[in-house]
Copies of this chain bind each other. A is one copy, B any other.
Amino acid sequence: MKKKIIKAELSAGYRDFLPETMIPRQSILDSIRGVFELYGFSPIETPGIEKEEILTGGDENFSKQLFRISRAEGSDPLALRFDLTVPLARVIAQYPNELKRPFKRYQIGRVWRGERSQAGRYREFTQFDADIVGSDSMMADAEIIAVMYGVMRKLGIENFKIRVNNRKILNGLPEYADFPKEKIGAVLRSIDKLDKKSWGPVGEELEALGLSKDQIDALKKFVTLRGKNSTDALSQLKKLMKVSPLAQEGIKELEEVVAHVGALGVPDDAWVVDFSVARGLGYYTGPVFETTLTDIPEIGSVFSGGRYDGLVERFSPTAVSATGASVGVDRLFAALEKLGKIKKEQTVAKVVVLNFDPVAREYIQEVAAKLRGDGISTDIYLGSEESLKGQLAFALKTGAPIIIIAGEEEMKKKTVQIKNTIERSQEEAKASEAPERVWSILKK
């Protein structure tokens, strides 16, 4: 009976990262981690599986997107986390003694959402978050903006804009534009589309919500307000929204943020106060942040967040203030790819040692061990191709900058041939001096 062969494939909405994409992806993740640590954020890890109640807080809207775990013997309903913020809130409530506040943590991890699978939408993706818990100072929000700036610069991105708003200002809109408070959610969802849509269709949406021309005009005046700089914009807004005490509070917070962000060394042109930034998630309560790439705004925000002072209350009788931001790793990677900032590589190896002469097998292993001992990433050809020519063709395809060739002849002389695949040159060197020669080529 012929054995059944199972088709090797993923379900829709999932994907693999092969070395060609994983090597640069890893290097991006390392860079982000480096910046987070530079700003004093420490790592934590939490499991992918949590109790369903923890994740949803009983909110049915979230639970539609939830991936539930089905286990016969399981007692608690369990599910996969859909972000890293809710698990952080749980951690804060669960370990009050271990985690002294303020607490700054970063976390990288997979999250899962039951999105309709479509181009560029994945059901499993990676988030990379930095949060400050237990500080209600606007200095904390300024730190988040500074770390966002630091990450973008570290990744070599020059044309980007961190857009900052305050949910308190947005929550003051019903008072300002004189529309019913119940409509604020729908209004914000429309306004939030302004990073991708122009005012025209957004205005039509607002009309469909039953807003009057006066109300819509007031909203347009609000979202299109621009000043000479952030301080000027805030000062204009203060006058515009003078009827709303809540908005005044939000404006005052942003004025503080402006001063702190400058002191933290973030240049003025890297960020802007933008009153159209709403951020979808319900839990934001203060400043909110987004990062768009000036050259590809259509990709949306690659690094976003805000203050969410209420979230920990789900798990604790005492309120805990918190602010943070999350890198959408997959979207950021796609953006960097579009910007031509991703160098695709097939292998991490800097050297491939050929292995075509059975007599010299242990000799080339000793050479490889010497290179590795000197910190040089080294591969030995281990495939079925026996000819020097065939192995050389394989090694050239890997893109490794150096190929080392040694057969019986070299073994007897205790030498190796060192091939520089980039400059297409070759030299013979003593085996004992191979690491030094390889380093001198790599450092060029």
Interface residues of A (CB under 8 A from B): 3-11, 14-20, 22-23, 25-26, 37-51, 53-54, 57-58, 67-71, 73-76, 78, 80, 90-91, 93-95, 98-102, 104-105, 110, 112, 114, 123-124, 132, 134-137, 139-140, 142-143, 146, 150, 259-260, 262-265, 313-317, 346-349, 352, 355, 361-363, 365-366, 368-369, 372-373, 375-384, 394, 397-398
For the complex of A and B, 10 pairs with smallest distance between CB atoms: A40-B379, A263-B362, A263-B365, A265-B369, A8-B93, A40-B349, A19-B42, A135-B382, A70-B70, A8-B94
A259 to B361, CA, bound (A): 10
Give the Cβ gap from A257 to chain B, nearest Cβ, in Å.
12
Smallest distance from the beta carbon of A23 to chain B beta carbons, Å? 6
Compute how far the CA of A104 lies from the CA of B19 in the bound complex, rounded to whole angstroms: 10
Closest B residue to A398 by CB, please name it: B100
Given A17-B44, A98-B18, A379-B104, check contact A6 B365 (CB 8 Å).
Answer: no
Q: Return chain B residues, CB-CB under 8 Å to A50.
A: 10-11, 14
How far is B53's CA from A247's CA once the two chains are assembled, in angstroms? 55
Can you pick out 6 interface pairs between chain A and chain B where the beta carbons lie within 8 Å of each other? A9-B54, A15-B47, A17-B44, A18-B91, A70-B70, A100-B397
Least Cβ–Cβ distance between A38 and chain B, in angstroms: 5
**With A10-B50, A40-B379 already in contact, 5 other A-B pairs whose C-beta atoms are closer than 8 Å:** A16-B94, A19-B43, A48-B124, A110-B110, A139-B355
Contact among B39, B366, B369, B378 with A372 in the assembled complex (CB-CB below 8 Å): B39
With a cutoff of 8 Å between Cβ atoms, the chain B residues found around residue A372 in the complex are 38-39, 150
| Chain B residues with CB below 8 A from A91, complex form | 8, 16, 18
Once the chains are docked, how many angstroms separate the CA of A50 from the CA of B48?
15
A150: chain B residues at CB < 8 Å are 372
Q: Please tell me which one of the listed residues B25, B100, B369, B382 contacts residue A102 in the complex, with CB atoms under 8 A apart.
A: B382
Chain B neighbourhood of A349, CB < 8 A: 40, 42
Least CB distance, A172 to chain B, in whole angstroms: 24
With A and B bound together, what is the CA distance between A380 and B93 in angstroms? 23
A8-B94, A368-B264 as given contacts; A42 in contact with B54, CB under 8 Å: no
User: Which residues of B have CB within 8 Å of A259?
Assistant: 362
Q: Is the CB of A54 within 8 A of B315?
A: no
| Cβ contact within 8 Å between B47 and A377 | no
B38 touches A375 (CB 8 A): yes
